[in-house]
Amino acid sequence: MSDLLERLRGRGWRMTAQRRVVAEVLDGEHVHLTADEVHARAVAKLPEISRATVYNTLGELVSLGEVLEVATDRRAKRYDPNAHRPHQHLVCARCGAIRDVHPTGNPLSDLPDSERFGFAVSDVEVTYRGICPSCAAA
Amino acid sequence: MSDLLERLRGRGWRMTAQRRVVAEVLDGEHVHLTADEVHARAVAKLPEISRATVYNTLGELVSLGEVLEVATDRRAKRYDPNAHRPHQHLVCARCGAIRDVHPTGNPLSDLPDSERFGFAVSDVEVTYRGICPSCAAA
DNA sequence: TAGCCAAGTCAGACATTGTCTAAGTCAGGT
DNA sequence: ACCTGACTTAGACAATGTCTGACTTGGCTA
Ligand SMILES: [Mn+2]
Ligand SMILES: [Mn+2]
Ligand SMILES: [Zn+2]
Ligand SMILES: [Zn+2]
């Protein structure tokens, strides 16, 4: 992700302080932040950055394939910079904590042709749910 | 689902015209309606029924386990009266059409202990995505 | 059957999350 | 340094869902 700015420039995008800051916030940490969390962290670095720009930039990073949108609940979407290695998510049903998980097997092969109804199936999303250790202890 | 009203009564619930109508709307058809779609159909049978009551009743049916909430996209939740046989969903990425599907295998067994991080994993949701025949033709 | 009252319903305010608009600003090429 | 279209901004708007507080009623009791 550190060369993201290069790739953006290569696509003819203007490099702005706002885009740099959003990329910085997502860089490194393997977290799943909401747009407003990204905004809060961006504001710490660039106080005048607007919510709209954060949304715009996140949307751009998603279409670029640099960031994934994760919607595990009805709350705010989460933005996942771990777009490199395919993975699924394990979510705490109580506190909402999210972990990346790497299941074995390919769920796509578990869907027989007779269950595809003529769809061209291209993707599958798996969300595991349970209670995290810290909620179980409490 | 036809004996739902009996079960509700058995739980000490009052039987009202509103609850009867919402149950009727969901009965039978294997569809995935939004709350507002349920409301629209309910209004056809009972013009003065309110949106709040439809939301309340759907929430009650969900806690009863009679109806499932399905959130395949960022749009409105869908209410699924097919709560009897476990199944997953196949969603058209273009038009949003939803089909019930019954994959083989158990995705829970695809998540090794080493990938559970101490969670008590109890449930898994699988959403297949693709293009439906009618969108592919267009 | 009449009366009671807690459970249920209602309209509409409010909350959350995200998108859109239109006016101002600026990055980068010339 | 100047231009210009891409970018940013504040705030309005939209979609979905929740909450409130006054009103209504199902079903029990006598
Ligand atoms: Mn992730
Ligand atoms: Mn279904
Ligand atoms: Zn937890
Ligand atoms: Zn389609």
Per-residue pLDDT of chain B (138 residues; tens, 9 = 90+): 557 777 888 878 899 999 999 999 998 778 999 999 999 999 999 999 999 999 999 999 999 999 999 999 899 999 999 998 999 999 999 888 999 999 998 999 999 999 999 999 999 999 999 999 999 997
Nearest CB to A74 within list B71, B103, B124: B71
Provide the whole-model pTM. Answer: 0.90
Using CA atoms, how far apart are residues A1 and A81, in angstroms rounded to an integer? Answer: 8
C-alpha–C-alpha distance, residues B34 and A73, integer Å? 16
8 A C-beta contact, residue A104 and residue A86: no
Containing A86, the helix (H) or strand (E) segment is: none
List A residues 32-51 in contact with B (Cβ-Cβ < 8 A): none
Task: State the best of A110, A113, A122, A123 to mutate against chain B, taking most chain B CBs within 10 Å.
Answer: A110
Model confidence pLDDT, tens digit, residues A116-134: 999 999 999 999 999 999 9
Q: Which of B82, B105, B101 is nearest to B29 (CA)?
A: B82
Distance from residue A22's CA to nucleotide C23's C1', rounded to whole Å: 24
Q: For strand B120-131 and strand B88-92, is the pairing parallel, antiparallel, or unpaired?
A: parallel
Question: Is B69 within 8 Å of B79 (Cβ atoms)?
Answer: yes
Say yes or no: A113 contacts chain B, CB-CB below 8 A.
no
Q: Which domains are delineated in chain B?
A: 2-80 (1.10.10.10), 88-137 (3.30.1490.190)
The whole-angstrom separation of Cα A63 and Cα A77 is 15
